[in-house]
Structure 1
Amino acid sequence: GTLDIWVTIPEGKRTEEVAEILKKNIPTFQQSWIQSLITDEGYLFPDTYLIPKDATIDLISTMMKDNFQQKFDSAKNTKITNLTDRETIIMASLVEREAKADIDRPMVASVIYNRISIDMKLDIDATLQYALGYQTDEKRWWKKELTSQDKTINSPYNTYTNPGLPPGPISNPGLASIKASLNPAKTDYLFYISDANGTNHYAKTMAEHNANIKKYGL
């Protein structure tokens, strides 16, 4: 009825961005909602929701988490990794930020999984962007141009300095990224770069990777 509001949460947003969308749409929004949502980072399933105008944050987060659980449970039987459910969602949150096209999601997931399997640092820019937080000069959450200094920041989310997955999800991933993380492509790839068009190029060795960097002018 007229008391409900349609709200769309896109894939790959961090919790603060989800809160911004709620703030624009839901009259009962309060700043304190952000803190209650942050504990659910990764589980606020991106979708279009019909939310009551007078909704509490508990109601909204329950809607999103229940939706997540339903989607996750329906996909879980495809799992081929030895990751826990929590690790799978952390991985999916990385895949969501790193892969632009659906076709790339299982490939990016394979690179992450292959690196985890050999204890190789993940070196994922999106984890740095998450750790760096809101960029006042850029007026955005995900810093555009990372510097070599950014790669040395002291944060558990810095995958250039810390081995393995970050301690928690960095975004709220959609179903394609979750599926890719349950069932990554079977590859020997350890590297990838995105070219100017957002197309990914994969490599098994540092030499191949450097050749790709040269070839695609990065």
Structure 2
Amino acid sequence: MRRFLPFVVIAVVLACIIGLFAVSASAAQSYGPPASSLGPLQVIQYSAKLVWYDGLLTRPLSVGAPERSFTVQQNESVGSIVNRLAESGLIVDASAFRDYLIYTGLDTSIQAGDYKLSPAMSIVDIARAMQDATPADVTFVVLPGWRMEEIALSLPTSGLDATPEAFIAAALSTPRGFDFMAGAATAEGFLYPDVYILPRETNARQLVETLVRNFSLHLTIDLRDGFARQGLTVYQAVTLASIVAREAVREDETPTIASVYLNRLKIKIKLDADPTVQYALGFNSVQKTWWTNPLSLDDLKIDSPFNTYLYEGLPPAPVGNPDLNSLRAVAFPANTTYYFFRAKCDGSGYHVFSETLDQQIQNACP
């Protein structure tokens, strides 16, 4: 019997070695190759642990749970991060999470920053998510009075997936399901100015729909009734509000500016609105702006249906995207008998208003 003992020992050792290699192979197959920084014994050690944990690594703690914020501080230790994840109820097992990080080498590349994590994510998902602290959401700002091209130009630095070209293409059509866009050929005028928190993967079509949907939320019955009292459809009111938004510098003056244009519409005289000419001119490559200023006499003669110095009534479409203040100014204008206004000469941003052309001329800056 003793003659066979060495062979038995050798067989047992070989079986153990084969078993250890099998464990390592199983871990590698399930969770990828081990970190290059691990020694042979460490590879076997952590491979065995991962195989032991098995389902814990890929099973979420709570399916369907909502996301919550989790912040990794600068220079925070892996141990501290793991413990806080467990205390926050985000991971099912702290030891399993720590061992997975070490096995994969992800423990050395966790980034400081803010994350959106959920108990519905597995240990593997959370570990991978914490390799990129780029926020899942971005802040996107649309300023009052911007035309669609200006919104498009802000996209490359926004962090959104939408490109300027794709946005323009999407905005040149109209989203379905919005009755107030009847008569509109594009989304111009309905791309509501606001501060938006959007998923980074938002595409151009989704962005246009989001802006228009926000407009719909602000288009109250009160506003609709106000437009109707001025004898305007929603589309006409938005068109006028887009002019008002470009003219008004001071918010408290907006209803008075709106009253001037409404008074001119009622007696059927041309609006003579600078923003309509600026819109018709398009991008000024010298001034590097979409809003040429000042306008020359030749500019005022541009033959475009948008030029309200040449053509009576409203332009055929909005010349920008008005904010709520401008929309309300059109719905609820000041009660005035003004037909003219021009900028004050003091640089304050305010205007001086007139009832007659003679008064308007007298109010010119010296």
TM-score range, shorter chain: over 0.9
1:22 corresponds to: 155
1:74 positional shift: 5.3
2:355 corresponds to: 204
What pairs with 1:121-132 in structure 2 (closer than 5 Å)?
Answer: 121-132=270-281
Equivalent residue pairs, number: 215
- TM-score calculated relative to the size of structure 1: 0.94
Instruction: Measure, in 2, the Cα distance between the counterparts of 1:59 and 1:146.
Output: 36
1:134 corresponds to: 283
Instruction: Measure, in 1, the Cα distance between the counterparts of 2:156 and 2:191.
Output: 15
Counterpart contact for 2:167–2:208, Cα < 8 Å: no
Provide Cα deviations, 1:54-80, integer angstroms capped at 9, x if missing partner.
112121111111110110125414443
Letter aligned with residue 138 of structure 1: Q
SS of 1:165's partner is coil
1:101 positional shift: 0.7
- Tell me which structure has the larger Cα radius of gyration: 2
SS of 1:23's partner is coil
1:59 corresponds to: 206
Counterpart contact for 1:44–1:61, Cα < 8 Å: yes
SS of 1:88's partner is helix
Letter aligned with residue 17 of structure 1: E
1:32 corresponds to: 166
Counterpart contact for 1:27–1:53, Cα < 8 Å: yes
1:104 positional shift: 1.2
1:13 corresponds to: 146
Instruction: Measure, in 2, the Cα distance between the counterparts of 1:83 and 1:100.
Output: 24
SS of 1:24's partner is coil
Instruction: Measure, in 1, the Cα distance between the counterparts of 2:356 and 2:315.
Output: 24
Instruction: Measure, in 1, the Cα distance between the counterparts of 2:191 and 2:159.
Output: 16
2:94 corresponds to: none
1:159 positional shift: 0.4
Go from structure 1 to structure 2 and tell me whether the alpha carbon gap of 1:23 and 1:157 turns closer, same or farther (over 3 Å shift).
Answer: same
Counterpart contact for 1:75–1:179, Cα < 8 Å: no
SS of 2:217's partner is helix
2:218 corresponds to: 71
Q: Is 2:301 aligned against 1:166?
A: no
Q: Is 2:235 aligned against 1:86?
A: yes
Counterpart contact for 1:92–1:180, Cα < 8 Å: yes
1:12 positional shift: 0.8
- TM-score calculated relative to the size of structure 2: 0.57
Unaligned runs of 5+ in 2: 1-115, 117-134, 173-185
Of 17-26 and 183-192, more deviation after overlay is shown by 17-26
- 2:248 corresponds, among 99, 102, 106, to 99
Letter aligned with residue 8 of structure 1: V
Of 84-93 and 70-79, more deviation after overlay is shown by 70-79
Letter aligned with residue 140 of structure 2: V
Letter aligned with residue 240 of structure 2: M
Choose between structure 1 and 2 for higher RCO, CA contacts under 8 A separated by at least 6 residues. Answer: 1
1:19 positional shift: 0.8
Provide Cα deviations, 1:41-99, integer angstroms capped at 9, x if missing partner.
10000001111111121211111111101101254144431111100000000000011
Instruction: Measure, in 2, the Cα distance between the counterparts of 1:70 and 1:88.
Output: 16
1:113 corresponds to: 262
Letter aligned with residue 36 of structure 1: A
